[in-house]
Structure 1
């Protein structure tokens, strides 16, 4: 059975880097990759009263340019990433990125979304503050993997999994984390950051549950007594030279704390490892 992976791209260097990372991460699995490009029309803005229609000159020129870039991308992949386990599809479209991603996930039964953390402009405000975080917010059907700019793939030997143990865990929501760990022989480091070291009884129960779910992969538990969650995670990852951060996207706790604007800069702009948002 093929895993279906969606990779939005604007054909920038950073988007290409995300493509390469995804191909290498899942090199051992049968996968169908769907490359999605939301093309732009030079003279069209969201304030325009008339939306360009398919068949109009401006629309067809923009679509043709998108398709031309897809040809170049596939030629490059054929040259450098010729993997018989992988099948490639291209989707050029004119709409909002979030809508295009949601539609493709639904229509193609996508299992995972992989995105670069910078757009073609490279501007800081569109790294984690815009498209990537928005995708993590709106996509609840599957995990989202964000790849920092310029990072080169190496098998993830250590994956940091921050949690507060306040919510229960389900094996299904951790499947992708376990799958990646199995594929690459990764060790999962569960990190608890809190002002207090002592866990409440329900937290202890959830910790035991997580221990049982992860019994088939190498894992260990760690704790830090700190006020700033983002700083603690960053310090932990950097001190251990970890390869990835994975977390369960629970908006009421971790997501809001990590991806509020002050913390985006700390973990997003200066990210040195991929971040996997699980659901």
Structure 2
């Protein structure tokens, strides 16, 4: 049974991520946990919030959260009455990142699915602040869905890598379980000015060749120093349905998530984005 966490702020972008997840995982047996953390909403009531009425405001937000989750649950059951899927809702007086981290541990979550941006929907940035926090700090793979992304089967997947990190079998298995039903073509792309691999890189590439699904896999080298521009151009030039990267030290993704000015990410995503965390969990 696959366990999926979907945080929501009740925005259209968040609901779009729910729809995408239901369709993508329609062949899998899944427990979906739809979660709303409302502590930030309580403290945003700055004009009316006082020490005397904080309990009252908190209860108001809790009731609103529960009602919205009930509405979403009804909508999910209307659009996806899938006997393979079970749905649960979680309303928490907590901040998103802490509650997500807690649920990941308690429920042994396999995947978090969320929109790239939430209610703020600032089109000048790739990731909203909440999504970025989850990508950076919650130790679980994250599938981020762009605004208004309509579901298409992931037939062609781009998997950039520098071969510097050993991949986790658990996360590669998750990835393979998702894409195998669609017979996806996977382009594993190495971007570098040097075509020669180190011994470490050769070993990691060999591991990928043996562990990365039974799908059609193309191992490609691109001669370039500009990783971000090369990925963007590859997505433009090919019918890519999903981008997959790994977030850890020395990875391509780390350079996108931890630049000096994180709000100026140059990678503009227009395809679903799976960030695998290379985390230390049981394989």
Q: Do the structures match in fold with TM over 0.5?
A: yes
Runs of 5+ unmatched residues, structure 1: none
How far apart, in 1, do the equivalents of 2:68 and 2:201 lie? 50
- 4+ runs deviating over 6 angstroms: none
119-128 vs 102-111, which moves further: 119-128
SS at match of 1:266: coil
- Conserved 8 A contact 1:192-1:224: yes
20-29 vs 35-44, which moves further: 35-44
SS at match of 1:41: helix
Measure how far apart 1:50 and its partner are: 4.5
- Conserved 8 A contact 1:15-1:116: yes
How far apart, in 1, do the equivalents of 2:213 and 2:72 lie? 40
Measure how far apart 1:30 and its partner are: 1.1
Cross-structure match for 1:4: 3
SS at match of 2:251: helix
SS at match of 1:37: strand
Does the C-alpha gap of structure 1 residues 168 and 106 become closer, same or farther in structure 2, counting only changes over 3 Å?
closer
Measure how far apart 1:173 and its partner are: 3.1
SS at match of 1:252: coil
Per the normalisation by structure 2, the TM-score is 0.88
How far apart, in 1, do the equivalents of 2:16 and 2:99 lie? 21
SS at match of 1:150: coil
Cross-structure match for 1:251: 249
Cross-structure match for 2:173: 175
Query: In the alignment, is residue 199 of structure 1 matched against residue 197 of structure 2?
Result: yes
SS at match of 1:155: coil
- Conserved 8 A contact 2:16-2:148: yes
SS at match of 1:251: coil
How far apart, in 1, do the equivalents of 2:69 and 2:5 lie? 14
RMSD: 2.2
Cross-structure match for 1:237: 235
- Conserved 8 A contact 1:119-1:126: no
1:93-114 deviation line (CA, Å, top 9, x unaligned): 1221110101111222211111
Measure how far apart 1:206 and its partner are: 2.2
How far apart, in 2, do the equivalents of 1:52 and 1:186 lie? 54
Cross-structure match for 1:41: 42
- Conserved 8 A contact 2:116-2:128: no
SS at match of 2:42: coil
Cross-structure match for 1:106: 105
How far apart, in 2, do the equivalents of 1:206 and 1:198 lie? 14
1:191-223 deviation line (CA, Å, top 9, x unaligned): 001122222233223222211112522211111
- Conserved 8 A contact 2:165-2:250: no
SS at match of 1:114: strand
- Conserved 8 A contact 1:113-1:145: yes
Measure how far apart 1:257 and its partner are: 1.4
1:161-201 deviation line (CA, Å, top 9, x unaligned): 11111233343331112112212211111000112222223
Q: Which of 144, 147, 150 matches 1:146? A: 144
How far apart, in 1, do the equivalents of 2:44 and 2:20 lie? 34
Does the C-alpha gap of structure 1 residues 52 and 213 become closer, same or farther in structure 2, counting only changes over 3 Å?
farther
